[in-house]
Amino acid sequence: MTPAYSVARRSSPAFTSLKIGSQQAEARTAFTWVGWGVGLGLVAALASASLIGSQLFGVSDVDPVALAGGTAVVTVVAVLAM
């Protein structure tokens, strides 16, 4: 048995864990990490906006629609990956 196989058998996705009734704390931890990642990403985007503002064309350096769209895409992908 390879190490990758044994690791794959031990890990379980968050939604599958919730569906089969396993520990809700595992799923909560996964959602917490997604929240932290999205939050830190928004802070980094806003902090670096003034640095790359001159290179953007047709979008302001702090465009709320672009930030909301990017945040939504990353969140949906992360939730689907769980």
The boundaries of the domain holding residue 23 are: 3-81
Number of domains forming the structure of the chain: 1
What is the rounded CA–CA span in Å between residue 26 and residue 24?
5
Across 36-59, average pLDDT: 83
15: nearest Cα among 70, 64, 57, 78 = 78
Tell me the per-residue pLDDT of 3-37, one tens digit each, with 9 for 90 and over: 666 656 665 555 555 555 556 677 777 788 888 98
Q: Which residue has the tokens 């864990």?
A: 17
pLDDT band for 56, please (50, 70, 90 cuts): confident
**Over the range 21-56, which residues count as b (16 or more CB within 10 Å of their CB) and which as e?**
eeeeeebeebeeebeeebeeeeeebeeeeeeeeeee
